[in-house]
Chains A and B, each alone.
Chain A
Amino acid sequence: SQELEQSPQSLIVQEGKNLTINCTSSKTLYGLYWYKQKYGEGLIFLMMLQKGGEEKSHEKITAKLDEKKQQSSLHITASQPSHAGIYLCGAALNRDDKIIFGKGTRLHILP
């Protein structure tokens, strides 16, 4: 069965520092999705990656999908308190498949 591993599980960084969150699939993906969840709230769609080597940005957040389409990294530059929350990656194996989600990365930003 499809498995999606996120790392790290939790991250504490000083405001202004850069950080990276990783998401690894056991199988080649159709699409890789990044969502952000503020504590106690719903999920907000950040971006979707489909092509090997593709890179997308959303404000100060950049995500990239590797050439084999099995691993994605999400990078935040000059982190701010507004970046705090839970980041979840999701993946679909084909166009008609359901999205499965990783367990999430809890990000805390220290002022």
Chain B
Amino acid sequence: NAGVTQTPKFQVLKTGQSMTLQCAQDMNHNSMYWYRQDPGMGLRLIYYSASEGTTDKGEVPNGYNVSRLNKREFSLRLESAAPSQTSVYFCASSGGTAYGYTFGSGTRLTVV
């Protein structure tokens, strides 16, 4: 099925460890996004990529880095994980605001 695929689905990290969340879409969308979802906070934008080769900060970028590897893939990296980064992370892609976003199923990350 066409869509957005995120890996892994679950991850537990120790404080200070690093990891990369992977996201790939097969809909030929130009734009891709990373959000985090926390209880009572809704979805907050971390980083986005309007097109291949470009990335921009969103609302909560501190502690994260991203790479738009090609048109299909957009990864999110935590260089030194902190407990405050415990969250559910969603990747999304879009062919234009007129069509909304397509979301992946999420990565549940716990930092201990």
Contact = CB atoms under 8 A, between A and B. Distances in A.
A92 B97 contact: yes
A33 B40 CA distance: 19
Interface in A7-45: 30-31, 33, 35, 41-45
A101 B33 CA distance: 13
Contacts of A94: 97
Contacts of A96: 97
B53 interface: no
Contacts of B40: 103
Nearest to B56: A98
Contacts of A45: 100-102
A30 B99 CA distance: 12
A92 B100 CA distance: 9
B69 to A, nearest CB: 21
B30 to A, nearest CB: 11
A99 B97 contact: yes
Chain A interface size range: 20 to 34
A9 to B, nearest CB: 8
B42 A88 contact: yes
B100 A99 contact: yes
A41 to B, nearest CB: 6
Given A31-B97, A95-B97, A101 B42 contact: yes
A100 B97 contact: no
B95 interface: no
B109 interface: no
A103 B41 contact: yes
Contact of B106 (A33, A42, A48, A50): A42
B74 interface: no
Nearest to B50: A96
Interface string A71-111: 00000000000000000101010111111111110000000
A103 B42 contact: yes
Nearest first, the 7 closest Cβ-Cβ pairs linking A and B are A103-B42, A101-B43, A42-B105, A43-B103, A42-B103, A92-B97, A33-B100
Interface of A: 30-31, 33, 35, 41-45, 48, 50, 88, 90, 92, 94-104
